[in-house]
Amino acid sequence: MRRRKKSENGGFNVWRSYSDMMAGVLLLFVLLMCVTLFQAQKSYDESIKERDEKIALQEEYTLEILAQQNELDEKEGQLKDQNQQLKTQDEKLKDQEELLAQLASKLKDQEATLNSQQAALNEKTALLKDQQAQIDQIIGVKADVIEALKKEFAKNNINVDIDTQTGAMTLESSVLFAYDEAELTEEGKQALEQVLPIYCKVLLQEDYMKYLAEIIIDGYTDTDGDYSYNLQLSQQRSLAVAQYLLDIQGNFLNSDQSQDLQEYLTVNGHSMANPVLDANGNVDKDASRRVEVKFRLKDEEMIEELNKVMTEADTKTEKADNTEEKTEEKSQEQPVS
């Protein structure tokens, strides 16, 4: 019995040793697998890193190539621009050469002209008379307009008050409006239908329109009452006359003249300013309540034209004097035989 028990203990020890050995082998296998996996992961990471580096290097190389290509394109564009500039400069040189040739030809013509300017001195008096006539014509434009207005009203048997100095046509408010009102009466409309077409048609004539700057409608009140109220009333009255003029313009103006009228028309209200005085120097309230239709010419343009005429006259006179002096110098330089 004791020997059998010893034999059983020996078998158990063998199996335990075998299991320990297998466990060690398994542990060794696991360690080998871990080392292998670690190496594989490390190799994989290195390959991924190497791939990323190659991709980055390739992108950098691609960007560098694109930059070089852009630089080449820019240089090519600059070369094209330079070629175009050279071409333009060549064309300019050709033009300048042609211009020089023309100037040389003109110089010859001027030399020939100098010989004929002596005869022009004899025409200076006639030229000055002609220029004086032009100046008189410019200065007399306003007088001509006023005279034309008077003749046209007289031809139509219409008696109106036109200032001989300014050309202003005065319309009494008592005819156009009821007291303290800004709405045109029927009598006022009839009066405006008679005078406004004649006044506007004369001003819009081709001979006068080129000098015309404004057609002005001014409203005035008497000196009674508040200034602000009178200002509003005078503005409303002048605006009512202007609006009625625009309403009836199609009856006597064509489309082009209507457009011109709208461009020139100006409306103002002056309240109690510039009252009309009677013979004793007192304010005539009835006469002060009025609407004036007037015009303004392009005075500055007329002055410029006048200065232009005078400058041309001075220039021609100066040229003639210079020619005369040069002629005298040449005659003095000639040797005495």
pTM over 0.95: no
- For position 135, what pLDDT does the model report? 62
Residues 310-320 have a mean pLDDT of 67
Q: What per-residue string of b and e applies to 269-279 under the rule 16 or more CB within 10 Å gives b? A: bbbbeebeeee
- For the chain, what is the mean pLDDT? 84
The helix (run of H) or strand (run of E) holding residue 215 is strand 212-220
- The structural domains of the chain, with segments of one domain joined by +, span 1-108, 134-306
- φ and ψ of 254, to 5 deg: -80, 180
CATH of domain 134-306: 3.30.1330.60
Q: What is the pLDDT of residues 140-170, one digit of tens each?
A: 889 999 999 999 999 999 999 899 988 999 9
For the cut 70, the answer to whether the pLDDT of residue 326 exceeds it is: no
Do 253 and 200 touch, CB atoms closer than 8 A?
yes
